[in-house]
Amino acid sequence: MNTIALTVVLPLLAAFVVPVLSRVSPLLGRLLGPLTLAYTILLTLQVWLGMEGKPFSIALGGFQPPLGINFYVDRLSLLFTFLTLVTSLLLWPWRNETEPRQYALTLLLAASACGLALSGDLFNIYVFYELISVASFGLAAATRSGAAFAASLRYLILSGLGSVLVLCGIAIVYLQTGTLNLAQLSQLAPETLNTPLGMSAFALILLGIGVKGELFPVNSWVPEVYAAASSRVSGLLAGLVSKLAVLVIVRLLVLLFQQESALQLMLILGLLGAISGELAAWRAKDMNRMLAFSSIGQLGVIFIAFSIPGETGLFAGLALSLHHLLVKPALFLLAERWRGSLAGLRGAGLASPVAGGLFVLLALSLVGMPPLPGFWAKFLLFTGLAAQQSVVYQVALGVVLLSIVIEANYLFRVVMNLFQPAGDSSVAVTTDHSWLNLGTTFLLSALLIAGMLFMGPLGTWLEGVAIQAADPVLYFDTVFSVSAIH
């Protein structure tokens, strides 16, 4: 069971070995990363089978919590660890021109993301969060164009400011409670953190971590970085890193900040993000920008979902997150072959019908046409919102519905353009006819269809994950129980 820590250790080790190994043998350097990721995926599956659905906790280095740092492994953490590793493998930068430094950065991202999902200590989360930041700054600048450096710098400054705020928030939490262990905090929280000071700590942490999670209004970096970075990196950032940031916030909400005003704050910010993202996407004139703004909008909707109290919120948010994790990287990979303005894409769908068909499928799922999985995720969200009494939730329902209409409009504007016969004056599109990109998109779409076919069991399983994650008492008992694994 301790092997779960290897999901952090092995990629981290490989990240530092790869540049060295590449000098010796370039081929080995290219292969080491994917091999490590594949091996850690197997490890994760092994732990999954061994844990039989019950959460457990590992104390790192033998030091017991609450002073020692522990890894808390429940279905949610394991799910996100697994998804991190698989997504990193799928979106691995395979191009021949890739430097070993980019491999190292991707491995670093994977390692720190796993750590972020698993960690049970507040400051440990901060450390892994910073590691992810550093990795993503490097990845964002990896194309080495002037615009990439500038975009990465702006991202860095905003993210750095966010980290400062997170530190202040952690300081306030420590001041109030005297501990950093999440389990102990969950026990102390109702008395100590249910104050205005505790709420301000939440606000600081939310805004700080929200920079990664594309929260309104700290998401100005998103269009610039996604446009400057390569599509695989954008897919990684949009699909994976943002979800991890949301996961951290959700854990903190469940365990530490159980007051209603915390949820309302997140709801309002999510609402603003959803509507602003979709409206800005409507005006976008090229594919990358459109997908970046759409990502902002979708994450706003995810924040709205997670702001519903209780297991319903977690269930809806998880369903939406998983769906977005499948669809967004696939769309970014398609965008790789369709760089250039949207107007110049006329006839591109007729030229490569498979890519066009996949785009239509992904767009339909994003918009929420039944019986695709996107509809069911949105349905869970809507039923959850409608069941709430407060009027803000009803307003959020209306806003999300409006954002879906706008999304349908701009996505299908693109689809219509794709399938119209190209006139004589179409701009030459820089196409990337790589079969690897198309194959990965196909695989992700196939997973989407598979999800649709097995929606029943998938839904029940996901609900189980949500119920387990929404239980702070279970968290406390697992970490501090006698039978915790040492």
Partner 1 sequence: MMPIEIGTVLYAGAIGLVVIGIAGIVLSHHLFRIILALVIAEAGANLLLVLSGFRWEAIAPIITGGGAAQTMVDPVPQAMVLTSIVIGVGVQALALSLTLRAYGAYKTLDIRELQRRMSADLAGEAGTPLPQSLEEPVGGRPLPAAEGDGR
Partner 2 sequence: MTPLDELLLFSGLTLVLLLLLGRFSYAGKVATVFYGGQLLFLAKMADRIVDGSIVTFSLQVELFGQQMSWRFDALSWFFAVITLGAGLLSSWYASGEWGERFRRRGGNLWLLHVALAANVFSMLILLGSGDLLALFIGWELVSWASFLLMTVAGGRAIQAAMRYITYAMSGAMAILAGIVLLWSHAGGLQYGQIIDVIPQLSQPQVWWLVALFGAGFAVKMGLLPFHLWQAAAYAETPGPGAAFFGAISARMGLYAFILVLVQLIGLARLSELTIPFTFLDMRDLWAWIAVLTIILPTYIALRQNDARYLLAWHGIGQGGYMLLGLVMGDALGSAGGLLHVFNYATNQAVLFFAVFAVMFRTGTADLNKLGGLITRMPISFFAMLVGIIGLAGLPPMNGFVSKWFVYRSLMIEGEPLLFLGAVIGTLGTILSVYKLIHNTFLGQLRVEHVEVREVPWSMVAPMIILMLLIIATGVAPGLVLDWVALVQSAVGLPVVENTLGGVELASGSLDMLWVVGVLFAGFGIGALLFYSGGRTRQVHQLDNYAGGHFLTAETRYHYSDNFYAGLMHLIKPWYRGSFVWLESTLGSLLEIAASLMQRLYGTLHPSLYLLVTVVATLTWVLL
Q: Terminal CA-to-CA distance of the chain, rounded, Å?
A: 10
Check binding of 172 to partner 1 (CB under 8 A): yes
Residues 233-292 that bind partner 1 (CB under 8 A): 285-286, 288-289
Burial of 435 from C-beta contacts in 10 A (0-12 / 13-18 / 19+): exposed
Beta bridge partners of 121: 181
**Residue 202 contacts partner 1 per CB under 8 A:** no
Q: Which helix (H) or strand (E) holds 59?
A: strand 56-59
**Which partner in partner 2, partner 1, none is near 379 (CB below 5 to 8 A by kind)?**
partner 2
Phi/psi of residue 56, each to 5°? -145, 170
43 binds, among partner 2, partner 1, none (CB under 5 to 8 A by kind): none
Cα–Cα distance between 287 and 328 in angstroms, integer?
A: 12
77 neighbors 56 (Cβ within 8 angstroms): no
If you ran DSSP here, which 8-state letter would residue 368 be given?
A: T
The window from 156-164, 264-272, 325-333, 366-374 that contacts partner 1 (CB under 8 A) reads 156-164
- The interface partner of residue 171, options being partner 1, partner 2, none and the CB cut-off 5 to 8 Å by kind, is partner 1
Which candidate, 268, 473, 300, places its Cα nearest to that of 390?
268
- Give the C-alpha separation, 235 to 329, whole Å: 4
Contact criterion met (CB below 8 Å) for 469 and 314: yes
Does 170 sit near partner 1 (CB under 8 A)?
yes
- Judged by CB under 8 A, the stretch of 105-113, 145-153, 350-358, 404-412 that binds partner 1 is 145-153
Reduce the DSSP state of residue 385 to 3 states and report it.
helix
Which residues from 41-70 bind partner 1, rule CB under 8 A? 67
Q: Could you tell me whether strands 56-59 and 70-73 are parallel, antiparallel, or unpaired per DSSP bridges?
A: antiparallel
Interaction of residue 406 with partner 1, rule CB under 8 A? no
Stretch 288-327 residues interacting with partner 1 (CB under 8 A) = 288-289
Residue 102 or 417: which CB sits closer to partner 2? 417
CA distance 306 to 264: 10
The candidate with the shortest Cα–Cα distance to 189, out of 103, 278, 258, 291, is 258
Distance CA 458, CA 426 (A): 44
By CB under 8 A, tell whether 137 contacts partner 1. Answer: yes
Question: Nearest 5°: phi and psi at 70?
Answer: -120, 155
Q: Which two tokens stand for residue 38?
A: 């594949």
Structure tokens that stand for 285 in this block? 């004139």
SS3 label, residue 346: coil
Q: Are 261 and 202 in contact (CB under 8 A)?
A: no
Is 413 a binder of partner 1 (CB under 8 A)?
no
Q: Would you count residue 339 as binding partner 1 (CB under 8 A)? A: yes
State in angstroms the smallest separation of the CB of 291 from partner 2: 14
User: Interface with partner 2 by CB under 8 A: which residues?
Assistant: 154, 157-158, 161-162, 165, 196, 199-200, 203-204, 207, 211, 217-223, 261, 265, 269, 275-277, 279-280, 282-283, 293, 364, 367, 369-371, 375-376, 379-380, 382-383, 385-387, 397-398, 401-402, 404-406, 408-409, 412-413, 416, 419-421, 455-456, 459
Residue 28 interacts with partner 1 (CB under 8 A): yes or no? no
Residue 133 as a binder of partner 1 (CB under 8 A): the answer is: yes
Segment lying near partner 1 (by CB under 8 A), choices 76-84, 220-228, 386-394, 409-417: 220-228
Q: Which is nearer to partner 1, 104 or 254 (CB)?
A: 104
Q: Among residues 375 and 476, whose Cβ is nearest to partner 2?
A: 375
| Interface pick for partner 1 out of 31, 161, 280, 395 (rule CB under 8 A) | 161
Whichever of 123 and 442 has its CB closer to partner 1, that residue is 123
65: left (phi over 0), alpha (psi -120 to 50) or beta: beta
427 binds partner 1 (CB under 8 A): yes
Element (H, E) at 135: helix 122-140
Kindly state whether residue 426 participates in binding partner 1, applying the rule CB under 8 A. no
- Cβ pair 96, 434 in contact under 8 A: no
Q: Which residues pair with 485 in a beta bridge?
A: 58
Beta bridge partners of 72: 57
Backbone angles phi, psi at 224, to 5 degrees: -70, -45
Stretch that binds partner 1, among 101-109, 130-138, 268-276, 309-317 (CB under 8 A): 130-138
With respect to partner 2, which residue has the nearer C-beta, 127 or 161? 161
- The answer to whether residue 154 forms part of the interface with partner 1 (CB under 8 A) is yes
* Cα distance between residue 115 and residue 109, in whole Å: 10
- Comparison of 228 and 466: residue with beta carbon closer to partner 1: 228
Residue with smaller CB distance to partner 2, 8 or 411: 411
CB 348 within 8 A of CB 429: yes
Report the residue number, 86 or 269, with the smaller CB distance to partner 2.
269
One residue of 145, 394, 409, 481 binding partner 1 per CB under 8 A: 145
Interface contacts to partner 1, rule CB under 8 A: 67, 123, 126-127, 130, 133-134, 137-138, 141, 144-147, 149-154, 156-157, 160-161, 163-164, 167-168, 170-172, 174-175, 180, 224, 227-228, 285-286, 288-289, 339-341, 344, 427
